[in-house]
Amino acid sequence: MFARHWLLSVFFFLLVQTSFSQTTNRYTIIPRPARLDPRAGQFLISRTTTLLIPPGQADLKAVADTFARQLNRATGVALTVRVSNRMAVPGNIIQFIPARDTALGTEGYRIDITDNLVTVEAARANGFYYAVQTLRQLLPPTALAPTRTLPDSGLTTLAVPACRIEDRPRYVYRGLHLDVSRHFFPVSFIKQYIDLMALHKINTFHWHLTDDQGWRIEIKKYPKLTQIGANRRETLVGHYDEFDPQVFDGKPYGGFYTQDEVREVVRYATSRFVTVVPEIEMPGHALAALSAYPELACAPGPYSAATKWGVFDDVFCPTEKTFSFLQDVLTEVMGLFPGKYIHIGGDECPKVAWKNSAFCQQLMKREGLKDENELQSYFIRRIDKFVTGKGRRIIGWDEILEGGLSPNATVMSWRGTKGGLEAARQKHDVVMTPGGFCYFDHYQGDPAQEPTGFGGSLPLSQVYSYNPTPAELSPADAKHILGVQGNIWTEYIPDVNQLQYMIWPRAAALAEVAWSPLEGKNYDEFSRRVPSLFDRLAVMNVNYARAVYDAVPVSRAVAGGRVAVSIRPGKRMDNVTDIRYTIDGSIPSAESPVLVDSVLLDKTATVRTAAFAGRKPLSQLAKVQKEFIVSKATGRTYTLQYPATSGRPDKNGSLTDGNTAGMGGYEVAGVVSFAGDFGTTVDLGQSQPVQGVRVGFLKYTAKNFCLPKQIEVSVSDDGQTFRPAVTVKTNALENGKRDMVRLPIDFAQTSARYVRIVARSIGTVPAGMRNPGKSAQLGVDEVEVR
């Protein structure tokens, strides 16, 4: 009997999978519903359509009123909302019916759409709300516009494809985070952020309000938190190690939310069934607070809000004055945020100040704490006891596990999955948010082509692939995995445009991870819904990344000293029909040639590429470009006089393959590194005229990559006897902005088959740089012979 039931279940699942994939273009809903049965036909919404609400359902009527207002604002199709029984209202109807069964849970819903009737069922108001979000995504994208885009005569009906949907979420916690401490974002943007979350059935907004770089929430009892702590004197320019020495913009930066603004955001979110979880960082990431109230630190100060990023040693000191301060702050915070969770951070708390504090050492002895990790646990338990006493629950990053954890605490696992596994096995509730799948400040495409990100790679497909419930957990422990959250840290995200670019479409992929059944996930099928997502975002004036369509060019050396440029291997989106390219510096257009296999270069050129669907560009046209180098050394064999380091080894003749290095965040791709001198002998295959070389060297002095102090070039006809061509001094003291410096070395024309290049390391990093006295390295990318 069991086997038969299992086979029927598998057959039904495959049938639903097939029917859904065959009709993806009609039903472009994200996140994908648990079950969708397609039908022929469509329901037409017009000015005669009535939204029918049963009596005594105030919350449901509010949902219907919001839907009607949104459609009217976007399209001019003004719907009537009536509280009545259906028999009393003839005509074109969308009826909302409270479900009598419990199968849908608190957030599930059913929608039945025919040519003349739409029936929506749910047990609770939030279920009806999510049903409406599904209806909005079934409508044309224009129905989501924030303002009217068509004249009165331009649109009279809106078509909704017929189908039957039964849907409910996989996880109860579906979160999206926003750091407003590093960079501040106005209330108007926060509301749009919440709108987009709600449209994709994300139900928790984690608002990171305090950190070293700024305190962003008004606390009435402690006005200096916003008078002083909300402001920093300047901000780091570029990536953390991009300049040596670091460069700052010299511009004061600040901003905070008044309590009235916080209440406004919370009301707005509540109306969209989004719970706001505030984060007040402790005991670390406290510099902004200490700048306002230095007496809360272990040392006298003074302190100031951080002007750059990272982790700082100055943290809250666990004195009674500090606990009184934090309890006062949290009391005001709990008065503003009605949700059950208060996030207290708990991450990245250095113990240096505590180790050096006589008070802390005496406290540890008095409380029987064996080390500073247990002191952090003591700190967290004190706060947990206070918050629990107010009827709330704390949630914190997985470091709160260190030294033991209060049984009431919920853990956010961000340092991979280990913390989540450990917490679930200890019977703590867990929200999974590992950096490798959920950190949207990481790059989503080729770092060399992307806006500045923190570092690391997180393409759309990787987000979508995530399963928040680790297979290692027992069924009993797996019940403690509440859900999943995407995080966006804003160190390198100064404005709304870039923030939206980093979030979308990855947040949509995570929304499907959080909502849709695991067995129904299919990235190929999801990718076919992405173009409709882009259409909706464009109508809503939301920026988004098209990195998923980027055709990144790479090269290989081929016979005849030429370079063959092709597209980096990887999974392409289904709707890409052509990759078009240019080599003259112009932006690719529908008239540009199609890159079928590869394009052969016989001279140095910058190749630009773009993905098209027919004549329609899919990728950002001006974005992807890369220089490829062709010289007499291209494709030629060479030997190294000194071994490359294991960290950046030489791979497959990478110094003469025509491929230049790329940079992004902390990464530098395509560079071969040497712990001391660099030396190579290139075999040109036959004697021929030569008159110079050019070598690309990495200048990244913050990471100990210095330019060479001297370059020696010699030539030979037989590979045995070499004659000097030129020796030149170079500027190994140059620092400043990180760069690939292509040093040209000219000499009198001569004939040779072998060219030897030796670059002498300066040995140690010079004074005046980030790490003076450390061993200097040489980084090399491409060797040219002219």
Strands (E), 761-777: none
Q: What is the DSSP string of 321-351?
A: HHHHHHHHHHHHHHHH--SSEEEEE--S---
Q: Whole-angstrom distance between the N-terminal and C-terminal Cα of the chain?
A: 78
- Among candidate residues 166, 234, 261, 348, the one labeled active-site is 348
CA pair distance 696, 18, nearest whole angstrom: 53
Residue pair 167/109 in contact by the 8 Å Cβ criterion:
yes
Closest CA to 653 of 674, 669, 637: 637
Q: Is 499 exposed, middle or buried (0-12, 13-18, 19+ CB in 10 A)?
A: buried
Structure tokens at 310: 């990272």
Q: What are 148's two structure tokens?
A: 């009217």
Here the tokens at position 721 are 């006897």
The radius of gyration of the chain from alpha carbons, rounded to an integer in Å, stands at 30
Q: Which of 575, 510, 517, 636 is nearest to 197 (CA)?
A: 510
In the numeric block, which tokens belong to residue 357?
């504090």
Residue 739, token pair as written in the block: 């760069």
58 vs 30, 124, 252, 769, CA distance in Å? 28, 11, 48, 66
Note whether 408 and 428 are within 8 A (CB): no
Cis status of the peptide bond prior to 245, with omega within 30 of 0: yes
List of residues 6+ apart from 783 with CB closer than 8 A: 633, 638, 655, 656, 680, 682, 693, 694, 695, 757
Q: Tell me the C-alpha distance between 197 and 347, whole Å.
A: 26
Give the closest residue to 16 by CA, choosing from 39, 40, 35. 35
- Contact yes or no for 290/306 (Cβ under 8 A): no
Convert 281-315 into a string of H (helix), E (strand) and C (coil).
EECCCCHHHHHHCHHHCCCCCCCCCCCCCCCCCCC
- Interatomic CA distance for residues 410 and 428, integer angstroms: 6
Closest CA to 77 of 103, 50, 97: 50
Residue type, position 403, single letter: G
- State yes or no: cis peptide before 300, omega within 30 of 0: no
Strand 599-601 versus strand 562-567 pairing type: antiparallel
Length of the chain: 786
Decide if 24 contacts 16 (C-beta within 8 A). Answer: no
Residue whose token pair is 């529908």 = 590
Q: Helix, strand or coil for residue 410? A: strand
Long-range contacts formed by 426-430: CB under 8 A, 24+ apart: 426/401, 427/477, 427/480, 428/480, 429/480, 429/482, 430/480, 430/481, 430/482
Name residues whose C-beta falls within 8 Å of residue 474's C-beta, 6 or more positions apart in sequence: none
- 348 catalytic? Reply is yes
Provide the 10 A C-beta neighbour count for residue 174. 27
Indicate which residues carry an active-site annotation: 348
